[in-house]
Amino acid sequence: MLALLSSLFFFMPAPMQAQLPVAVVERIHPGLDAVIDVNAKVAVIADGFEWVEGPVWIEKEKMLLFSDVMRNRIYKWTAQKGATLYLEPSGYTQPAPRGEELGSNGLAVNTQGQLVLCQHGDRRVAVMNAATADPQPRFTTLAGNYNGKRFNSPNDLAIKSNGDIYFTDPPYGLEKGPQDPAREISYQGVYRIAKSGAVTLLTDSLTRPNGIAFFPGEKSLLIANSDPQLPHWYIYDLNEKGNLINGRIFFDGTAIFKKEPRSPDGIKINKKGIVFAPGPGGVWIFDKNGKALGRIKTNLITSNCAFSGDQKTLFITADNCVLKVALK
């Protein structure tokens, strides 16, 4: 169980930082052995950011994109060049200065191959009006309000094969948090943007909806709830209209939260239905029925993850760095 952090890469000149804690793969159930080797090495591939989130792999360019939320930037990582600046600004495009979580968060690629962004500062879901190989800070709003009221701060998204975009809208990107006087929607919603542009509220019952991902077949959807009082992952079925029905707890994180306080965050699900879910201590790994198989324990505040094109590599955003680990 000695999976040492290796390949340290400092993106920009900075004073030498303390050595990062050792990351290990922890087995909870024998089913983990079919997913990842318990001796797999977890390597830091980029470091020196402020708070990284929302990773997405772009297969055509063989690059990983990820948000540095506080700095209003997106970086890219390639095996040849490491991490370099990709896009600035990424989530806040207004002239008035502001602080806190102003940049992009969740990133995804739509069915046309375009980059779609959850933009905290601009409080919208937008698409970049440029090819992913030639990024430009030009954006078109896909959804900026519901019934005339501006969103809180779209956080994470999942795109269905028919082009519909499902996204979460907690208050984390508001400059003054949930009590921000600029807040216009009192609840934390989960929404769908149809190809027509119509926006539908799917649920307003979750206290802090965050990560979101479809299971294979797109008949069910998983949502992470980043609430210390209700640190749960919820599963919903989808009806023929694509609406959420039969909501229930997929995994109750209360017990693990008491030991290691960090709520559920981003989610990715592979083609076999295995769930990779950042939360307390690192990335939790569940089978399709909600059984905990194990954890990639990063010993860092872990926000999100993404697969390579062949799903043989998992990239992890954690605090100020990006890690990767081989999967089976």
Looking up residue 213, the CATH number of its domain turns out to be: 2.120.10.30
Give a yes or no: residue 4 inside a domain: no
Give a yes or no: residue 316 inside a domain: yes
Q: Which two tokens stand for residue 150?
A: 């501006």
Q: Tell the burial category of 99 from Cβ atoms under 10 Å away from its Cβ (0-12, 13-18, 19+).
A: exposed
Per-residue confidence of the chain (328 residues) as pLDDT tens digits? 333 333 333 333 333 344 455 689 999 999 999 999 999 999 999 999 999 999 999 999 999 999 999 999 999 999 999 999 999 999 999 999 998 999 999 999 999 999 999 999 999 999 999 999 999 999 999 999 999 999 999 999 999 999 999 999 999 999 999 999 999 999 999 999 999 999 999 999 999 999 999 999 999 999 999 999 999 999 999 999 999 999 999 999 999 999 888 899 999 999 999 999 999 999 999 999 999 999 999 989 999 999 999 999 999 999 999 999 999 9
CB atoms within 10 A of CB 138: 11
238-276 pLDDT tens trace: 999 999 999 999 999 999 999 888 899 999 999 999 999
Give a yes or no: residue 315 inside a domain: yes
Q: Which two tokens stand for residue 304?
A: 């999100």
How far does CA 77 lie from the centroid of its chain? 16
Give a yes or no: residue 10 inside a domain: no
Total domains in the chain come to 1
Rounded CA separation 317/68 (Å): 10
**Host domain of residue 163:** 24-326
Give a yes or no: residue 11 inside a domain: no
Give a yes or no: residue 127 inside a domain: yes
Spatial contact of 42 and 5, defined as CB atoms under 8 Å apart: yes
Spatial contact of 66 and 316, defined as CB atoms under 8 Å apart: no
End-to-end CA, the chain:
17
Give a yes or no: residue 8 inside a domain: no
Give a yes or no: residue 137 inside a domain: yes
Phi/psi of residue 257, each to 5°? -65, -35
The contacts of residue 104 (CB under 8 Å, 6+ apart) are 54, 67, 69, 72, 74, 90, 91, 117, 118, 119, 120
Strand-by-strand arrangement of the 189-193 sheet: 157-159, 165-169, 189-193, 199-203
Sign of the torsion formed by the C-alpha atoms of 58, 25, 269 and 312: positive
